[in-house]
Structure formats: structure tokens, C-alpha cells
Amino acid sequence: MELARDLGCKVRCDPSLYDGIREELGKLAKIHEAERAPVYGNQTAAMPVPRGMTRNCSLPWTYINVCAHGQVRPCSEIREAVGNLHHESMADLVNGPKIRQVRRGLLTGSLNGDRCQRCTIMPVVSVDTFRRDMRGNLVLWALRSRMLNLLRLFRRS
């Protein structure tokens, strides 16, 4: 609603829908705080991620690094490209097998030989905590995307 107000749009929402979303987000926040695993920040490059742990990194879902020569990377720290814009579309790159492999590694804690294993930026968290956090984030991103699409439709009319 605040986004709509900032954009100068009027949006009507069934209050029960809004209350239901608020209630679900509140439950997720309580679960997240109650079960939060300890975070081990400032890992050095020489320290591997322990078994059952992963990096607390949402970048492969939210960010891409595009180099001047067209190479696309999921993070500025990863040197291996997931593709090249001169040869593939952006949609194919952000949903392609290479970036999905990076995402799968983070979700499972399988960072073997991966640059994520040696990352010194993102803290280490339990795989369960990361999955729960990402599940909540994906729901919020989907809701935000739908709301922006609705606002675009209202602005056209």
C-alpha cells in the first residue's frame, strides 16, 4: 500500500488478504528469531565451510555481475562466468544450469571447490536456516513483483 501511495496510485485490497499476509510474515519472523543458528562471520579463505553449513548469500537469486565483454557472473567474487550476453539471453542466463548449480550448492551446503567455499564476505549459517530464510525471501520477492505488476497495470488505465 505504501508503494502504491508513493507512486500516486490507488489500490484497494481485501483487508482479510492483507491481514493474512501480515500474520504469515509475523509467524515466519518469530520462527526465524527463535531458531536462528549462530553466525560465524569473518571466515578466512583458508577455512572451509563446515558440514551442514552454507554461506548466507542470496546474490545468485538477486544480483548479477555483467562484465564489459558480456560475461555474466552471479557475484563479483566468482571469476567463472555462467554465460555471455553476446551468446545467450538474460532470461536464459539467470535461469540457466550454471547459476542453478551455484544456487543448489548454497541450498545444500555443497560448496566443494566453489568460490563460495572460500568467500570471506558472506557469513556461514546452517543449511536449514538458509533454506528457511530463502523460502521467506522468495515469497516476499514474489509478492513485491506481483504488486509492481499490478501498479503498472493501474498506471496504464
The answer to whether residue 79 scores a pLDDT higher than 50 is yes
DSSP 82-137: SEETTTS-HHHHHTSHHHHHHHHHHHHT--TT-GGGG-SSSPEEEHHHHHHHHHHH
- As a whole number of angstroms, the distance between CA 105 and CA 78 comes to 14
Report the pLDDT averaged over residues 79-90: 89
- Grid cell, residue 107, equals 541450498
Q: Is the pTM of this model over 0.75?
A: no
Q: Tens digit of pLDDT for each residue in 43-74?
A: 444 467 888 899 999 899 888 888 888 899 98
Say yes or no to pLDDT of 80 above 70: yes
Q: What is the pLDDT of residues 89-121, one digit of tens each?
A: 988 888 899 999 988 999 999 986 667 888 888
Scanning the structure block, which residue is given the C-alpha cell 552454507?
Answer: 54
- Which cell numbers hold the place of 136? 521467506
Q: Residue 45 has what pLDDT?
A: 46
